[in-house]
Structure formats: C-alpha cells, structure tokens
Structure 1
Amino acid sequence: MSYRSTVARQPAALRDTCTAITAEIAGKDLAALDKPVIGITGIGASYAAAVVGAGEFQRQGRRAIAIRACDIDAGQNLADALVGLSHRGRSVETVQAFRERPTATRFAITKDDESPLAEASDIHLKLNNGDDATPSSTGYTATLLALGMAIEKATGAPATDWAGIPAIAEETLALAAAKMDRLGKMFENRRAIDCVGAGSAFGTADEASLLIREASRIPAAAYDTRHYLHGPMESMDATTGVVVFGAEREIALAQNLKEIGCPVLLVTTADGIEDDGVLTVIKVPFSENRVAQGIIDIFVPQLLAATLSDAAGLTDTKFRYRQSDTKIGQPAAA
C-alpha cells in the first residue's frame, strides 16, 4: 500500500483501533502504570510518540519522561513503570530495554501480541490499524491513540472523546490538503527543513522531521521552541523551510522567519492568523489532551511529506539503506 493512500486511510484506521483498544482496556488493570516515575521508550517514530505521551502524563501531574532505549542501562533504575512503543514489536533496542528491566512494570503497545516486545511485557495492548506504509502513518497515530486511552485509564483522568478522533482526522486532512499546492511550491528543493514545537509538540516536530527525511530525502531536524531561539534558527533563510507547531511563542517565531524570507508552515490552534507571503497557516482543532492534539497535528506534515516526495520523484520509493540488525526476526541483508 502506498504512503499517500495509507495517510488517506487514517480515519478508518483510527476508528478500528479505537474500537479494539476500548474493548481491550476494559479488562485490564492499568493502574499498575501509575508509578512514582514513568518512562516511555521507543525507536524512531515510536520515540517521537513517547515524547508526546510523556507530556500528557505530565499534564496529569505524573513524573514521566521519554527515554531513548539506548539510555536504559540494566544497572540503572530510571523508571518504576516502563512503557514500550513499537508498531511491530520487534525493535531490538526496545525489546532489550524490557528484558533488562524485569523489576519495572512493563507495558507495551504493538500490532502483534506474539511479538518479542509483547512477550517481554507485563501488560500489552494490540493495535488494529491495518496496513501501514513507509514512512509510518497509521502505525504512528494508532500507537498514540492507544497510548492516550491507556494514560487516561491509568491516571483516572477525565475522558477524551477518542471516538470522535476519526471525524477530526477527516476534517484536518481536508484542511491540510487545501494548502498542499501552495506548500509544495514553497517547500520544494529546500536545502534543509527544521521542525519546531514545545512539550508534547516537540515529539510531533520530531516525527515530522523524520517523515520529511524518509519521504523526500531533504535533511530535516527537530527542535524545542525555546532552544530554537538560542541559535539553531540562525542558519535558516530563503533556501530552507521551517514547520512550526504551537499557539504561543511559536506564532512570533513563525512571523520572524517570514520576515527574513524563510518559507514557514505554522500548524496552530490559534485564531486570526492568516497566510502572508512565505508564511502558510493551517488552523487545526484544539484538544486539551496532548496526545489527541499530537494525533491531530501530525496529519499536516504527513501530507506535506507526501507532497515533497512526489515533487522529488520519490513517490513510494523504498529506503536506500536497508538494515539487518534493527528488528528481531528480520532476515539478514543480502
């Protein structure tokens, strides 16, 4: 299945996953996750999702951090509960982290309940997002959906309307699609694209940068909003581009970039900001829940990555660098 067609399947994939996870968590005691320190780990897109999820745990008053799997040492007690994210459940580093932390409560979200990560976990939720493509689209958002629902049950937080997310997906994808001709012209052939956001939106920025790198092979990187102001933005100009997520300091940042002629896409929940010169604005629906907001926000860069991939003649092109040691059970490279 192609990347663009998989992005278009988001509403159905999210609807199916919401139904499956609602049934699953009804019979699970997720209060076991509500420990003094909660670590969320994963690789690649799953790590970006971990950053989004840690932000929602923090909003609920919990001490939660996103931890790169390579930073989990068997001799260090970094977290009392460990959440592992891996779509297929076969990422070597995440599975190893679970196996080396048997004293922590280990909770995994994967698509395969017989995967190595599921087998190494104490609690597991199985996704039902159907087929995914490269770069990941439905796998990423389905993982976030399951994580958001699990966080609410674990913490006893007020319920979010997760069943309403598929309809929001349709709305947001339509809003984004209406701007893609404009964005395609402005962001084509960039020498680099930065993605910027704060808190959970930093995770969204990380995933957006990964999508752009994978789909269009344009160098891209992610930065926290405040960090970005302290030097990294100095290299941006009319030959680059920036994707900004947020409704606070991010608005002034987007305007600063516009004034120096740098094409910028602002994904925001704020009212009253319009396209202006090289600034393109996509206003998306607002959610108090940071995981739900992360799902909503990522639809825009998913379509941007597909647009840039098409412009570069890379539509559905496979990865050039195939690895043989990143997934458990993966065949050796030829």
Structure 2
Amino acid sequence: MKRIDYDTAVRDQPSALERAHRSIAHALAESAIEPWRAGDTVAVVAMGASTHSAHALVFALLGSGVRAFSLTASDASLCAPDTQPADHYVIVSESGRSPEPIEAARRFTPGRRIGITNVADSPLAAEVDVVLPLGDVDDSGVYTVGYTATLLAYAMLCEHVIGMPVGDTAAIPARVASALSSFDGGAQIVAERLSAARTVDFVGRGTSLAAASEGALMFREALALPTAAFDTYQYLHGPMEPLREHSALVVFGDERELSLVDSVLDSGVQVCLVTQRPLADLARPNHENLVVISIAADVAGFERSIHEALVPQLIVGHAAARMGRRPGEFTYRQPDTKIPIS
C-alpha cells in the first residue's frame, strides 16, 4: 500500500473496491471462522476512523438480533485481567500497525479473533486468527477507500457468518461510481456554503452514525475545522443549542432528521441533508440554506453506509481546494500511533 493524493483516492474508489472485494471473498472462502451462535456477543475493536465504521456493523448486527458493541481498542486495557468482554472479536486497523488494536488482540480469546486490515502481512495479522485483507489498496493520508472497503468487508463477513441478506456486494463498486457522479454537484455547493463556517456538526442515527462520526473526523483532519458528531435524538437534548449563523450542519437520515433540519434553517445555519426521502416530503426543500443530497431508493444496509460516507469525502475534497489545503498533511504528528515499518 502506498499513500496517494486525496482526490485520486476518492475518484478511484470503484476500482479499489473491486480489488478489495476479490481479496475479501478469497479470504472468506479459505478461512475457518468460529460460528456466531445465538446469544453470543460480538465486539468491534478499533481506533480512529475504523472506530467510526464500527457503528455500521454494530447497528446492523443489533438489527439482526445479534448482540454487538463497539469497544475502543485502547479501552481494552481497562478490562480486568483474564476477562473477556465478548465471545467474538472483529478487530479493525486499515494499516494493521495501530498499536492499540494489536495489543487488544493479544488479550482476546484465541480462535475468536477476526482481523480486518488493508495489509495482509501487517503486525495485526500476526495477532488474530482470521485475516480479511482489503487488498493492499492505495489510500490517502485521510483514509477514504480504506474506510469504504472496511464497510464492504463488514457486509461480506455478515453474509458469510450469519447469512445476513446484504445484496449483491460485487455490484457495489459500479454503484459507487454512479454515486460519486451523482453526489458531486451537491457536494461542491455545500463546500462553497461552508466557506464561512466556524463549526460543523454531524448528525445521524443507527448505521448512519458511522457517516456522521467519520465525516466529523475527516473535517477535523483535512480542513482543521472544529466539528462534533451526535446521535440524532441525543442532538435534540441540548447539543444543538450553539447553532448560529456561522454554524453548519450535516445530517444523515430519513425520519426525525427531516424536522430537525427544518427547525434550524431560518437561523442562518447552512445545512446539508443526506436522505432517501423525496423532496416532496421535506417542508421547505428549496430553502436558501439547505442542500439535499439524495441517495437512491434501492440502496440499503452496508451499501447505504458506503454511499453516505462518500458525501463528506467529496465535500472535503472541494472545500480543501477552496482553502488551499492538502488533505493528509498534518500539523501534529504523534510518534506512537503506528508501529514503524521494519
């Protein structure tokens, strides 16, 4: 894997996802994964962007009747010695070199550890029982394809282990190409309108919390903008109060999210709504402070999580160009967030 330009990584996701699909499918066919039985609990263990992707897997599993939760990898060290917080573990690190997931894997039950990483021979791979490699795809410093490929891996894993209906995962790369084209115009308008924003809030519920959380991280990493991410209903209980004229809001969802959006439009807040609901269902779809980015009605499950993630990726690209920033060039570098390559 090598680091490539951000815009190239975003644009080339369809071909990279095709490569990832082949790699994941081969690994699943060759691997013996301990069955997830009724009553078992699955922990998704990660750091950084991978932690945000975990929302998609956790809520998909909960919706299928499987106990699941997200465990920040660094928090695994807080568990009492010789205790196991879950029955099965999905341990995620795109680089495979983040020390916290590696150390967490060492603590967990042998035979119950599935690792998802872009690099098949990474340090993480040596500490898990089954590796689902993303194909060593090239990625940007602010992760793009590694993030969406992880979501693809979740879909394929759930289909393989519990028979979750996830649709035709092989068709996802081509549909991502279509979505990138469809979303780009709206993303460019949003980037223009956010040029005066001092803070940006991201809001979503359930699996859409993945895109909200990841979007907030990307804006902080790539644009150096203060952001926060919230569950939709939590946001209503106070966190939305600071919204003012120089605030921006990116909302993912089809239900309570619509009235939330409408309630702030007259305050001068610049809003982007990512939804499957038709414009006719919105109270004021043509309001001057609102941009709606529509997800196709037949996109569901993990594929929808992938499409939702494309929106902040595209907005970041356009906003960075306007601001003269290069995503992936960080001001602050911490020497202990990755194990050095030997």
2:177 counterpart residue number: 170
2:73 counterpart residue number: 69
Structure 2: tracts of 5 or more residues without a match: none
Note the 1:1-334 alignment, pairs <5 A: 1-34=4-37, 36-72=40-76, 73=79, 75=81, 76-103=83-110, 105-128=112-135, 130-272=137-279, 273=282, 274-286=285-297, 289-316=300-327, 318-329=329-340
Kept in 2, the 8 Å contact 1:193–1:240? The answer is: yes
Kept in 2, the 8 Å contact 1:215–1:308? The answer is: no
Structure 1: tracts of 5 or more residues without a match: none
Distance 1:104 1:56 in 2: 23
For residues 21-58 of structure 1, give each alpha carbon's deviation from its aligned partner in whole angstroms, at most 9, with x where no partner exists: 22221222335345611000111110011111111111
Kept in 2, the 8 Å contact 1:89–1:117? The answer is: yes
Distance 2:160 2:298 in 1: 18
Q: What amino acid maps onto 1:305 in structure 2?
A: V
Instruction: Classify 1:238/1:129 alpha carbon distance in 2 versus 1 (closer, same or farther; 3 Å).
Output: farther
Q: Cα offset for 1:166?
A: 1.3
Q: What amino acid maps onto 2:329 in structure 1?
A: K
Instruction: Classify 1:126/1:4 alpha carbon distance in 2 versus 1 (closer, same or farther; 3 Å).
Output: same
Instruction: Classify 1:100/1:208 alpha carbon distance in 2 versus 1 (closer, same or farther; 3 Å).
Output: same
Kept in 1, the 8 Å contact 2:94–2:117? The answer is: yes
Instruction: Classify 1:157/1:242 alpha carbon distance in 2 versus 1 (closer, same or farther; 3 Å).
Output: same
Instruction: Classify 1:210/1:159 alpha carbon distance in 2 versus 1 (closer, same or farther; 3 Å).
Output: closer
For residues 115-141 of structure 1, give each alpha carbon's deviation from its aligned partner in whole angstroms, at most 9, with x where no partner exists: 121111011111126210021101101
Distance 2:236 2:73 in 1: 28
Distance 1:140 1:281 in 2: 23
Query: SS of the counterpart of 1:209?
Result: helix
Identical aligned residues as a percent: 34
Query: SS of the counterpart of 2:241?
Result: helix
Instruction: Classify 1:157/1:31 alpha carbon distance in 2 versus 1 (closer, same or farther; 3 Å).
Output: farther
Distance 2:298 2:206 in 1: 14
Q: Which moved more, 1:193-202 or 1:163-172?
A: 163-172
Using the size of structure 1 for normalisation, the TM-score is 0.94
For residues 144-179 of structure 1, give each alpha carbon's deviation from its aligned partner in whole angstroms, at most 9, with x where no partner exists: 101210011111122421111112211211122112
Distance 1:255 1:148 in 2: 33
Query: SS of the counterpart of 1:7?
Result: helix
What RMSD in Å do the two structures reach over aligned CA positions? 1.8
Distance 1:103 1:184 in 2: 47
Using the size of structure 2 for normalisation, the TM-score is 0.92
Query: SS of the counterpart of 1:67?
Result: strand
Distance 1:103 1:24 in 2: 19
Kept in 1, the 8 Å contact 2:98–2:337? The answer is: yes
Q: Cα offset for 1:280?
A: 0.5
Paired residues, what number?
Answer: 331
Kept in 1, the 8 Å contact 2:116–2:153? The answer is: yes
Distance 2:328 2:302 in 1: 30
For residues 226-282 of structure 1, give each alpha carbon's deviation from its aligned partner in whole angstroms, at most 9, with x where no partner exists: 000000001011101010001011111111121322001001111124342111000
Distance 1:98 1:50 in 2: 16
